[in-house]
Structure 1
Amino acid sequence: MKISDNTHVAVIDGERFVWLRNSGTEADPQLEAVDTPEMDGTNRSQGGQRHSITSGEPAGNDLDEAAHVAAVAEWLNHQAKTNKIENLIVVADKRSLGELRRHYHVELEQRLVGEIGKEMTNQSLGDITAAIAAA
């Protein structure tokens, strides 16, 4: 997948959110970190459908992760609705990606140029760039 000029990249898992932007060109992408906002993952009701596999009861950590991902989605939706992003690539582990998709606003969906279902929050910018290029 190509990373066009000024494309933003959101790298997400259940605990972390890394906000990046391509400051290079499509031919020579250079991802750089952009100030990542603090996420308020206190809306645990966002993960109300998640249950522990073993007990059938809501799992606390699962709810925390779902609330974090929902907070990221809300922030991304706001960025799209206020025209602060034009193009977006989302890189997230499969579980977080599924949760994100539940919260995408139509404005965000229109700016979404790609998704990669892979855990990359602890990877280097070079590794993230290579994973996107290979997708």
Structure 2
Amino acid sequence: MSSKTRIAIAVLLGASALSVTLPSSAEQAEGMVVVRDARTGELRNATPAEVKALRTQAVQQGIARPQPAAPATVRANGTRQKLIGERGQVYSIVSRDASGKLWAQEAIGEDAANAALTAPAPVNHPQEHNHADR
């Protein structure tokens, strides 16, 4: 096979990969729905009628479907930004002690971060760790 033929095949494969359609809604992006077969007891893919019945049952019982995650924002410089919610937030708090030295600590959650901001800088700081000592 010549190199021109290989390049043409690679271009066609790349173009076909780009033409694959992505789910356009949360409904289409939903994961697999499985049910336990009444006769065999085995898990199997749910039929469309079973999926519809399960969704109707969930609505009647007030079970909320999870909201789809917001898409990431791509900035002009190519970096991506995505809000991850409070559960994923880790705050870095830096305080200055009486001698002027800066000390950093981490807090998980907004309440812990606010508590760390109002607390005075500790007088006795823990010994700094050195990764080279391993």
What's the TM-score, normalizing by structure 1?
0.18
Structure with the bigger RCO (C-alpha within 8 Å, sep 6+) is 1
What's the TM-score, normalizing by structure 2?
0.19
